[in-house]
A and B are shown apart, each in its own frame.
Chain A
Amino acid sequence: MTELLFPPGLLLIFGALLMPLGITIRNALVFSLPVLCLFFIWSAPADYVVTMPFLGFELEPIKITTTGRLFATVFSLMALVGGIFAYKQASTLELSAAFVYAGSAIAVTLTGDLITLFIFWEVMAIGSTLVIWAARHDGAYRASIRYLMVHLFGGLLLMIGITGHIVETGSVSFEALSLNSISQYLILAGFLVNAGAPPLSAWIADAYPEASPSGSVFLSAFTTKTAVFTLLIAFPGTWLLIPIGIYMIFYGIIYALLENDMRRILAYSIVNQVGFMVTGIGLGTEMALNGAAAHAFVHIIYKALLLMSAGAVLYRTGKRRCTDLGGLFQTMPWTALLGIIGALAISSFPFTSGFVTKSMIAQSAADQHLIYVWFALAMPVSSFRGLCSSRKTQACDHLKRHAIC
């Protein structure tokens, strides 16, 4: 099988629309679609391109690149793993929405033109909003509307930017763009809104913790990392991304320290981790870009693990504040143990994935003799994440009291 008939992401989107047909069909789709999607992604030859004429433009709805394949792989894995975590208790609405969301994120990573990218970018906003709705409580509904406003605004910036870019250059190709007119700056701004960059960083911590326990696992994986992917392709080595990334790193830590809701702490730490990736993209060397891509891959995995452990705690106890929890190792030893593994990875503890990928980004700053950047990156990596994360594992409440509270 080497011929792809349609974008692999569409497989998940169409499959999601069939999910309401019945619980058995739904569960079969949840387990089979991501595997099928992975098969398509990996059976297509490298640099495979499908073109399609549209309004005088040559669209590339499928373009397999190395970076795109990396992101599409981890997104498919997350659809599968998230689906397994969710299928027992999540509503059909939530699972369908999550698969539309995952499918459109995969489609963005496997596209070669800006028009297809924009269409799936917007589908992603709708899918993710529905995932938040599926929690079915007032707080979730209100948070989802705020969330949607931010993403429609980001989408609008992107659309104006793309239109301007096409008018100026005549090219719809999604490739490295140089910042030489306001259109490219608007495209950059559109991508950055989804990454959680300042001044709109608050939407992540506002909306994600309002989703259901499984919903926030899906949410943590796709939106911000798709933004990282698009920045990686379109704006590698843009120096402006370095201060933006460093701001995000510290924003995430400082606010996580003041927060008490366990999933909101994790949401702030998404901003922090995406900050590392954005800084890496700004540094722009081969190792920095590889580090940013690798960090996105591993971050999706360990953040999903942390949100699953927090989700399991929320499901079992119904409590979301750290100060109401503690001593859960007694009743939930496996959850605690897995949460600790996730916390070690996010703290870049030696022999974990985060240790390798964050070091790649920090080392790139050192290689370019950017001393302030290196010191800024070393600051949160060095010790603090460990203490901050121990608060999230809900296992070491004695450690928590000693460390932070």
Chain B
Amino acid sequence: MSEEKKRWLLRKENIRTIWIIFIVILLATVLAGLFVHQHESFGIEDSFGFFAWYGFITCVGMVVFAKLLGLFLKRPENYYQEDNSNEVEHD
């Protein structure tokens, strides 16, 4: 498909712009912490960029934990599906 026919979200130059906008928003939320009073009361949440690093680290932690758990629990997608009902048909 040519670039002109693609919708705005899928065009290469727009994807770049969207990434830049997202990164700016992320930086703004970190910098906003300097000016906004936090309501929590444990001390640590007042440290610079707390929600950014806490969010990132716990996010990575949960993905790693899920993947490790998956090694034991995960089954192939058609494990229970001898009846092949995975694709629902509609009329």
Residues of A within 8 A of B (CB): 89, 135, 137-140, 212, 250, 253-255, 257-258, 260, 314-315, 318-321, 327, 329-330, 333, 336, 363, 366-367, 369, 371, 374, 378-380, 382-384, 387, 395-396, 398, 404
Contacts and interface: CB of A to CB of B under 8 A. Distances in A.
Nearest to B70: A258
A221 to B, nearest CB: 21
B88 A137 contact: yes
User: What's the dominant secondary structure at chain A's contact region?
Assistant: helix
Contact of B10 (A135, A330, A363): A330
Contacts of A371: 42
B65 interface: yes
Contact of B62 (A253, A363, A374): A253
20 contacts: A137-B89, A139-B83, A254-B66, A258-B67, A258-B70, A258-B73, A315-B90, A318-B89, A318-B90, A329-B9, A336-B9, A363-B39, A379-B54, A380-B62, A382-B54, A383-B56, A384-B58, A384-B59, A387-B59, A398-B15
B81 A139 contact: yes
Q: Which 3 A-B pairs have the closest CB atoms?
A: A382-B55, A383-B55, A139-B85
B40 A366 contact: yes
Interface residues on B, range: 35 or more
B41 to A, nearest CB: 6
Interface in B44-86: 51-52, 54-56, 58-59, 62-63, 65-67, 69-70, 73-74, 77, 81, 83, 85-86
B71 to A, nearest CB: 10
Given A139-B86, A255-B66, 4 more contacts: A89-B90, A366-B39, A366-B41, A378-B55
Contacts of B54: 378-379, 382
A255 B75 CA distance: 13
Nearest to B85: A139
Interface in B11-60: 15, 39-42, 51-52, 54-56, 58-59
Contacts of A257: 62-63, 66-67
Contacts of B63: 257, 404
Contacts of A369: 41-42
A365 to B, nearest CB: 9
A321 B77 contact: yes
Most buried by A among B40, B54, B86: B40
Contacts of B4: none
Nearest to A396: B9
A336 B10 CA distance: 12
Nearest to A378: B54
A382 B9 contact: no
Contacts of A329: 7, 9-10
A138 B85 contact: yes
Contacts of B70: 258
A255 B63 CA distance: 10
Contacts of B3: none
A387 B58 CA distance: 13
B83 to A, nearest CB: 5
Contact of A379 (B1, B58, B67, B81): B58
Contacts of B81: 139
Contacts of A367: 41
A395 B18 CA distance: 13
A135 B88 contact: yes
A206 B9 CA distance: 34
Contacts of B39: 363, 366
Contacts of B89: 137, 318
Nearest to A366: B40
A383 B77 contact: no
Nearest to A333: B7
A253 B65 CA distance: 11
B80 to A, nearest CB: 9
Contacts of B9: 329, 333, 336, 395-396
B56 to A, nearest CB: 6
The winner among A314, A369, A384 for most chain B CB atoms within 10 A is: A384
A140 to B, nearest CB: 8
A382 B59 contact: yes
Contacts of B7: 329-330, 333
Contacts of A330: 1, 6-7, 10
A366 B62 CA distance: 23
